[in-house]
A and B are shown apart, each in its own frame.
Chain A
Amino acid sequence: MSLQEQDIQCLQRAQAGDTRSLAELYDRYTPLLYPLALRILRSPADAEDAVQEAWIQVWKRAAAYDPKRGTVAAWLLTVVRTRALDRYRSLSSRARAEGKVEVDPVAATAEPSASATQGQLGARVREALATLAPQQRQVIEIAYFEGLSQSEIAARLQSPLGTVKSWTRQGLARLRELLPREEWA
């Protein structure tokens, strides 16, 4: 049975009320999901809250997963990213209301910590990102980790919308090229 088939079986059992199946998914994927939430929110406490909300959503709404749209793992990443971005937006607006200075999340990128093998792929992707033109890297990182729309990105970078669109395409295409299939695992 492939990992994807095992994951689907876990989701189906979770949907039927089996908490152990959800625990199994938690153990398998939290090491991939938590770093994403932390990268977006930059606070372990907020990242844990977002991951917790995401798993509760998965538990309550397992039926929302559509295998035709991608793997369970990809869906879990989408759920976590969405919850983390929601939290990020509400925290940012609160911080603005309270007059706090917002840290630029792109500039504040943490150094990679050498941990486990996940780090190997991570390091490779970070190296690939580092070779992109700075504007290309900036637009895809702002879009993915801050959840800004292209017009919001254009406003922030004071660049025309059409330019932001083409940086986005060039950046993702280049990233894809730099990470050939055999290196993805």
Chain B
Amino acid sequence: MSEHRPEYEELCAGYALGSLDAADRARLEAHLATGCAECEAALREFSAATVLLAASAPAAQPSAALRDRVMAAIGAEGARGAEATAAPRREPPAPARPARGAVVEMPRRSPWAIWAPVAAAAALAVTSVVAWIQSARLGAELAATRARLESLERSASADSAWAAVLGSPFARHALLEPTTAGDPRLRARASYDPGSQRAIVVFENLAAPADRDFELWVIRDGAPVSLGLVQPDDRGRAVLRLENVGISPTLSAFAVSLEPKGGSPRRDAPSGPVVMLGPLSG
């Protein structure tokens, strides 16, 4: 294996940007092929920064006609028959467009069997647009907890309007962590879509004393606004679907307080201790 040298790390930056000259690219690729962990890590970091460059482009919308043109062009391509694909072409079931979160029957073969291997040099090992779109979801959360909460979210987004909250590229997320006043096992996660001003909040390990209720709050313009009581099932889980949560720039966090039965007497302030808190990403 060719030894790691700082020079290679420098080449990784150019590689992530796609700006290496051919000789340098060949040299780095030969080195990467030996499995240099330092360079792989450097490449991931540089690729992350590169993906962010795309986000620096000023926001803009194409004309509505573009969508029609693209779909018409694709229809024409389809009529001529697309290029050879590993999977046989077949018409999907015609009726209703499947909901975003819905389970769709796919041919069950080895998961990636239909993806041809690719060696396009342009397809860099960019991993990090994940960050752009959904990294707040990941946050510091443990993978196992995340999987459970995501499964709850899925069940919460069975219809497409709510699935859109989770699928929106502009969605903001909050991972609610227990405060020192809260049971350390408390977990919750919120996804908010600025477009529809809807949010889905999922909870687990909620167990209120018999004479108390959990109440959910959003911090809007720096002040709490009640979003209602959280009533867990017998396994301590709860899913809230919320409408009219507020305009995106005014929202900064979600919080949960432990209240007397029926909730805080005021809609604009918890009366009990705040047991969970999570800042909204973005």
Instruction: Please report A residues at the B interface, Cβ cutoff 8 Å.
Output: 1-4, 6, 9, 12-13, 15-24, 26-32, 34-36, 38-39, 44, 47-48, 51-52, 55-56, 59-67, 69-71, 73-75, 77-78, 81-82, 110-122, 125-126, 129, 140-141, 143-145, 147-151, 153, 165-166, 168-169, 171-173, 175-176, 179, 181-182, 184-185
Contacts and interface: CB of A to CB of B under 8 A. Distances in A.
B59 A118 contact: yes
B70 A52 contact: yes
A129 B109 CA distance: 45
Interface of B: 9-14, 16-21, 24, 45-63, 66-67, 69-71, 73-75, 77-78, 82-83, 85-87, 89-92, 97, 100-101, 104, 106, 112, 114-118, 120, 122-137, 139, 150, 154, 166-170, 172-173, 194-195, 248, 281-282
Contact of B170 (A17, A52, A74, A117): A117
Nearest to B120: A64
A22 B82 CA distance: 14
A123 B98 CA distance: 35
Given A17-B78, A70-B124, A117 B281 contact: no
Given A69-B123, A121-B282, A36 B54 contact: yes
11 contacts: A31-B169, A34-B66, A64-B118, A69-B118, A73-B129, A77-B51, A121-B132, A122-B56, A141-B53, A169-B10, A185-B131
A116 to B, nearest CB: 6
A132 to B, nearest CB: 11
B106 A70 contact: no
B130 A4 contact: yes
Contact of A185 (B77, B123, B282): B282
A35 B133 contact: no
A117 B282 contact: yes
Contacts of A144: 17-19, 50, 53-54
Given A15-B87, A66-B115, A129 B134 contact: no
B62 A78 contact: no
Given A35-B58, A125-B53, A19 B83 contact: no
B53 A140 contact: yes
Nearest to A81: B54
Contacts of A77: 51, 54, 126, 129
Given A69-B125, A147-B19, A185-B135, 17 more contacts: A1-B101, A32-B132, A48-B63, A52-B73, A70-B126, A71-B129, A71-B133, A73-B132, A78-B124, A113-B60, A117-B282, A121-B132, A126-B56, A165-B10, A169-B46, A185-B172, A185-B281
Contact of B248 (A38, A48, A117, A166): A117
A47 B52 contact: no
